[in-house]
Chains A and B, each alone.
Chain A
Amino acid sequence: MYETSPLLHFAEDTLQIAALAFMAIVYALKIRWILKFPAGKERQKPTAPPGRDGRKGALYSLAAIALPWAMASYRERPLRYVQFAVFHLAVAASILMSFLIPYAPETIASPAAVVALQAIFAAGILMGLMRLWRRLADPHVRAISTPDDYFSLALLIVWLGASIAAAPNAREVSETPLLAYFFLTAFFLVYVPFSKISHYIYYPFSRYYLGKTLGRRGAYPLANPAAMLKPES
């Protein structure tokens, strides 16, 4: 039976736990920082018609990312939603894999599971490259892009590439792909709280507050967003 080298053991276990702990601490500090700022209060009486209120507005707002037809931006450019969804799915799959390989390798040991994961990662890379190309080629997006925007995207594309190589978990053949994957994962975990990738920490807050306000005033949830954009055929 193959015995994992101390370096790989360190990379997939101790290093990951340390990186995760670091990320958790920075996130906790970040949330504490957000909560230090007072939330604006709404004194006015609710103005929403029956069936709409702040709670429903907040829930709708939080679910908005799963309602691409409700936003003209995605409705008019569905491919961008596909890019968004596939890319994020691939990142989530890779995060999951970073736990499964060291602690439950049997769950993704079958050839079918490996191929499925690799396909997701490959699709994620393709979408990531399309996003990167848009960031470079579209003057509107280029004008707002920072070094962090480029680096974060490039980092994730490279990381998804390492994920493809690591997915078979063939340590007996070579540990290099796994070492690359886990060291990259650790770097990713440490870097994320300082980068734009940490947007998912802001997402629930920003959507909650926007939805609460708009719901209280009756602007959310949108009754029939599709009908607002085009006449029904």
Chain B
Amino acid sequence: MARERSWRAQKVIERLEQKVNRQVLLSLAACVHCGMCTEQCHYVLANPDDPTYAPAYKADKLRKLFKAHIDWTGRAFPWWVGARSVYTDEELEDLKDTVFGKCTNCRRCSFNCPMGVDMATFNRLARGLLVHVGIMPEGVATVAKDQWEIGNQMGVLKEDYLETVEWMEEELQDEFDDPNIKIPIDKKGAELVYTINPREAKYDPRTIAEAAAIFHFAGENWTMVSEGWDMTNFGLFNGDDELGGACARRVYDAARTIGAKRIVISECGHGYRSTRCEGPNWSKTDLPDIEMESSIITMLRYIKEGRIQVDKSKNSIPVTYHDSCNMARSCGMTEEPRELLRLVCSDFREMYPNRQQNFCCTGGGGAMSMAEYAPRRLKSAKIKAEQLRATGAKIVITSCHNCVDGLTDLIKHYQLDMEVKQLVDMVYNALVVPKPAPKVEVPVAVAPGEIPAKALAGYKVLVIDDEPDVRTYLRVIFKDKGAEVLEAPDANQGWRQIRDQKPDLVTLDLVMPHKTGEKLYWELRKDEKYKNLPIVIITGYGKTDKPTVRFHEFIAEKGIPEPNAFLEKPIDPDKVIETAIQVLGTRIPSDQIQ
């Protein structure tokens, strides 16, 4: 006799059959139960004796259902391959406990799975199946309801939001004694729409003010919006594609109404992933005319373009960086935050493991809204606490609001002597204001055209570049300003010249045959004698590669400091000289590096 099945269980099965696509099917079918994912999960590390926390075990909860109803071997020989259907609401509650309470969808297991099983994706699908029949943690239901009904996941009313923005505008005007600082709302024709996490409006409005100050001093034509300002998306966490699509569409529509060319997403891991990557899929929207970027990229661009000036010595407390799972593993954003941090902080310490191998803050996947699982979450944060403690940093920076909350909680729980900040806090704190916006590569007081004729007299400059034309060009430029110029066509000869001739300044190309400029730079920075030798990187773009990006990844991986300056070809002679003056003005005298 067929076993009776509850209405909910029946609906879950029907919906599973509708929702499985090829990627999910393959992830469900491909697992070989090798168990290599086990120790990659922070829950397992905190609960080593409980196999129910292992990623493959958790994944099997849905996999058994898949095998029982979709997989043909599972339907033919269910016992043999571990297929099992669901019949009761209690079984669905048990599934809820696993997919909401024992997994943050961080995706670390997938990066360490030999078969490429994407567990986070189908864990999200399992959440969606349960949400569809009303089975979910209460907090998840509340947040989703707020996002559907009020338009943001913290239920911030429009009036309160606008009042907060106005308040922050007044704060900024007072702080800088400048009534012209504005936080525009619904400004038609703005180039850029800035979208935020409602947590900022509700609990942390200073980040809105800080971002506004950065936009103001960068001279940006920007605006916030009165509707569609929440870039977070609970659809990512509760597996509801319809909610995901509705939230994303609100943001896109707001930008279209303004006529903006760019949506800037404040520092929020899941908001960034949802708005930029998943949103177009859920909402079935193509956005050919609107670019989307994280505010990390925006701030970095402002600094690189010289639109804002920063002084890293203002942030001298040791800091470390926590990679948000959604940023690093699901969106590949690992180098840009580090590049920005190195520009605005003077003591950055890498955390291990990091980037795509980092451990979750344990507050991801909507965990912060599920109070019933808080003890479990904090227990699982042990590995994260150990990671943080090992850095010796006093501040942990993260570019995600969930991570801010998750890390703050665990810092308190494990009594770490640390605080959590975001990149916007650090950039704001390092801002040099008010000043006309000089280029950061050339932050000198000497205006173009006012450089003294023999400004570099008495200095020895070594040009390392494999292109003879470039060497000749730079030689003429430096000689014209009185410098003694040495040349080297490759990195090895450059090394010899540095040892023998003791130049005051080195210009270094990155792309060279045999030994690259990166390698030489690394060797110099490792060498006690030459670690402070002023070096200006002068490089160009390859056809398919961007050496600057690669270089920054390289120095980030090696943990070596930024060069004294960075210039891109084609070479602007004024800029080269201005940079050289700037760098030599702060150099360590030659006798100290010999």
Please state if A149 and B33 are interface contacts (CB–CB under 8 Å).
yes
Q: Say yes or no for B54: interface residue by CB 8 A criterion.
A: yes
Q: How far is the CA of A166 from the CA of B276 in the complex (A)?
A: 59
- Considering the complex, which residues of chain B in the window 543-588 have a beta carbon less than 8 Å from any beta carbon of chain A? 544-546, 549-550, 553, 557-559
* Interface positions of A from 141 to 183, Cβ below 8 Å from B: 141-149
Cβ contact within 8 Å between B54 and A44: no
- Contact status of A140 and B57, CB under 8 A, knowing A47-B332, A219-B331, A228-B355: yes
Inter-chain contact A139/B51, CB cutoff 8 Å: yes
A63-89 to B contact mask, C-beta < 8 Å, 1/0: 011000001111010001000100000
A47 touches B38 (CB 8 A): no
Chain A hits for B35, CB < 8 A: 134, 138, 140-141, 144
B541 vs chain A, min Cβ distance (A): 9
The reply on A218 being an interface residue by CB < 8 A is yes
Complex Cα distance A80/B20, Å?
Answer: 32
Cβ A74 vs Cβ B284 within 8 A:
no
In the complex, the answer to whether B40 meets A34 with C-beta atoms within 8 Å is no
B22–A203 contact, CB under 8 A?
A: no
Q: Which residue of A lies closest to B546 (CB)?
A: A50
**Contacting pair A143 B546 (CB below 8 A):** no
State whether A228 touches B357 (Cβ < 8 A). yes
Query: Would you call B36 and A74 a contact (CB within 8 A)?
Result: yes
**How many Å lie between the Cα of A213 and that of B37 in the bound state?**
20
Judged by a CB distance under 8 angstroms, whether B333 is at the interface is yes
Tell me whether A229 is interfacial, beta carbon within 8 Å: yes
On chain A, the residues within 8 Å of B27 by CB distance are 206, 210
Closest to A147 in B: B80
Provide the B509-540 mask, 1 if CB < 8 A to any CB of A, else 0. 00000000000000000000000000000000
Interface residues of A in 166-212 (CB under 8 A from B): 194-196, 199, 202-203, 205-207, 209-211
Given contacts A140-B38, A209-B22, contact A218 B116 (CB under 8 A): no
| Nearest Cβ on chain A to B336's Cβ, whole angstroms | 8
CB A47 to nearest CB in B, in angstroms, measures: 6
Question: B142: CB under 8 A from chain A?
Answer: no
Q: Please provide the chain B residues from 32 to 80 with a CB less than 8 Å away from any CB of chain A in the complex.
A: 32-40, 44, 49, 51-52, 54, 56-57, 60, 72-73, 76-77, 79-80
Nearest CB in chain B: distance from A200 CB, A: 10
A48 and B335 alpha carbons, distance in the complex (Å): 12
A153 CB, nearest partner CB in chain B, Å: 10
Q: Which residues of B contact A229 (CB under 8 A)?
A: 352-353, 357
B169 at the interface (CB under 8 A from A): no
Query: Which residues on the B side are within 8 Å of A196 (C-beta)?
Result: 32-33, 81
A112 in contact (CB, < 8 A)? no
Main secondary structure of the interface of A (DSSP, over half): helix
Asked if B277 is at the interface (CB within 8 A of a chain A CB), the reply is yes
Q: Does B316 contact A (CB under 8 A)?
A: no
How many residues in B have their beta carbons less than 8 Å from beta carbons of A? 79
CB distance from B384 to the nearest CB of A (A): 15
Name which of A6-14, A16-24, A35-43 contacts chain B: A35-43
Query: At the interface, yes or no: B281 with Cβ under 8 Å from chain A?
Result: yes
A218 touches B332 (CB 8 A): yes
A210:B110 contact, CB within 8 angstroms: yes
B313 within 8 A of A: no
Neighbour of A225 across the interface among B23, B276, B357, B546, CB < 8 A: B357
Q: Is A106 on the interface with B (CB-CB < 8 A)?
A: no
With both chains docked as a complex, state the minimum distance between the C-beta of A50 and any C-beta of chain B, in angstroms: 4
B117 at the interface (CB under 8 A from A): yes
CA distance A132 to B73 in the complex (A): 23
B493 interfacial contact with A, CB 8 Å: no
With both chains docked as a complex, state the minimum distance between the C-beta of A72 and any C-beta of chain B, in angstroms: 5
A61 contacts the other chain (CB 8 A): yes
Contact B57 A143 (CB under 8 A): yes
Query: Which of B26, B60, B116, B553 is in CB contact (< 8 Å) with A144?
Result: B60
- With both beta carbons as reference points, the residue of chain A lying nearest to B282 in the complex is identified as A43
CA of A146 to CA of B32 in the docked complex: distance in angstroms?
10
The residue from B25, B81, B116, B545 contacting A211, defined by CB atoms under 8 A apart: B116
CA–CA, A232 and B281, complex, Å? 40
CB distance from A207 to the nearest CB of B (A): 4
Question: Taking the complex as formed, is A126 at the interface, i.e. its CB lies under 8 A from any CB of chain B?
Answer: no
CB <8 Å contact, A203 and B559:
no
Give the contacting residue for A34; candidates B26, B57, B73, B111; CB below 8 A. B26
Contact A37 B20 (CB under 8 A): yes
B contact residues around A147 at 8 Å (CB): 79-82
Question: Contact between A206 and B335 (Cβ–Cβ < 8 Å)?
Answer: no
Nearest chain A residue, comparing its CB with the CB of B118 = A210
Given A44-B281, A140-B44: A73 touches B357 (CB 8 Å cut-off): no
CA distance A76 to B44 in the complex (A): 15
Assess the A217–B332 pair: CB atoms within 8 A.
Answer: yes
Is A111 at the interface (CB under 8 A from chain B)?
A: no
Q: Are B79 and A202 in contact (CB under 8 A)?
A: no
B20 in contact with A51 (CB, 8 Å)? no
- The interface residues of chain A lying within 8 Å CB-to-CB of B112 are 71-74
B332 with A44: CB separation less than 8 A: no
B285 at the interface (CB under 8 A from A): yes
A2 within 8 A of B: no
Which listed residue (A38, A134, A149, A217) contacts B330, Cβ 8 A?
A: A217
Chain A residue numbers with a CB within 8 Å of B164 are none
B residues near A141, Cβ cutoff 8 Å: 33-35, 38
A43 and B36 contact, CB distance less than 8 A: no
Say which residue of B80, B331, B358, B559 sits within 8 Å of A217 (CB atoms): B331
Instruction: Determine whether the beta carbon of B54 is less than 8 Å from that of A206.
Output: no
A73 to B328 Cα, complex, angstroms: 18
Residues of B271-289 whose CB lies within 8 A of A: 276-281, 284-287
User: B85 on the interface (CB 8 Å rule)?
Assistant: no
How far apart sit A142 and B553, CA to CA, in the bound complex (Å)? 41
Q: Is B592 an interface residue (CB 8 A)?
A: no
B594 at the binding interface (Cβ < 8 Å) = no
Which residues does chain A contribute within 8 Å of B558, judged by CB atoms? 227, 232
Question: A43-B280, A73-B112, A206-B117 are known contacts. Are A199 and B357 too (CB-CB below 8 A)?
Answer: no
The chain A residue sitting closest to B355, CB to CB, is A228
B114 and A64 contacting across the interface, CB-CB below 8 Å = yes
Complex Cα spacing A112 to B56, Å: 43
CB distance B549 to A49 under 8 Å? yes
**Within the assembled complex, what's the spacing in Å between the Cα atoms of A209 and B81?**
24
A37 CA to B17 CA in the complex, in Å? 10
The yes or no answer to B446 lying at the interface (CB within 8 A) is: no
CB under 8 Å from chain A, chain B span 299-340: 328-335
A15 contacts chain B at the CB level, 8 A cutoff: no
Among residues of B, the one whose C-beta sits closest to the C-beta of A232 is: B558
Is the beta-carbon distance between A64 and B116 smaller than 8 angstroms?
yes
CB–CB B332/A203 < 8 A? no
- Sort A-B residue pairs by CB-CB distance and give the 6 closest, nearest first: A218-B332, A146-B82, A219-B332, A202-B30, A143-B51, A207-B116
Binding site for A on B (CB under 8 A): 20-27, 29-30, 32-40, 44, 49, 51-52, 54, 56-57, 60, 72-73, 76-77, 79-82, 110-118, 276-281, 284-287, 328-335, 350, 352-358, 544-546, 549-550, 553, 557-559
Q: List 10 A-B contacts (CB under 8 A).
A: A39-B21, A44-B276, A72-B112, A72-B353, A73-B39, A141-B38, A147-B80, A149-B32, A205-B30, A229-B357
Binding site for B on A (CB under 8 A): 33-35, 37-45, 47-52, 61, 64-65, 71-74, 76, 80, 84, 134, 138-149, 194-196, 199, 202-203, 205-207, 209-211, 213-214, 217-220, 222-225, 227-232
